[in-house]
């Protein structure tokens, strides 16, 4: 892998993490623009999703490890963090989008 592609990957990851941290800042600092149960869910799961993603990135394992030998409980143990994290990412980004939309409309 060349130095140029490594730096490109680093810049992409930096942009994604910056956007995600900024959306978390908006999620915790301002009034939510989504229904309250989605905001509450996102506020609870947001720190867990960062922790879960860091573990997955550090270990360099698959995000969704599913094997035919898994029991139902093992499968759910692997699926629930992925589903919760994806929903949190979606809700926090939508909330950020609505925040910026409200700022644009009000000014």
Q: What are the tens digits of pLDDT across the range 73-92?
A: 888 888 888 889 889 989 99
Q: How confident is the model at residue 104 (pLDDT cuts 50, 70, 90)?
A: very high
Mean pLDDT computed over 36-57: 86
Domain count, the chain: 1
Q: How would you label 34-72 residue by residue, b for 16+ Cβ within 10 Å and e otherwise?
A: beeebbebbbebbeebbebbeebeeeeeeeeeeeeeeee
pLDDT of residue 25: 94
pLDDT of residue 61: 65
Residue 7, domain extent:
3-106
Q: Tell me the whole-structure pTM to 2 decimals.
A: 0.80
């Amino acid at each position: 892998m060349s130095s140029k592609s490594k730096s490109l990957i680093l810049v992409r990851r930096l942009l994604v993490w910056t956007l995600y941290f900024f959306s978390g800042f908006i999620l915790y600092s301002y009034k939510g623009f989504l229904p309250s149960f989605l905001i509450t869910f996102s506020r609870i799961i947001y720190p867990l999703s960062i922790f879960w993603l860091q573990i997955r990135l550090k270990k360099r394992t698959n995000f969704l490890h599913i094997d035919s030998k898994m029991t139902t409980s093992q499968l759910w143990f692997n699926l629930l963090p992925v589903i919760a994290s994806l929903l949190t990412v979606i809700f926090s980004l939508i909330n950020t989008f609505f925040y910026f939309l409200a700022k644009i409309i009000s000014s």
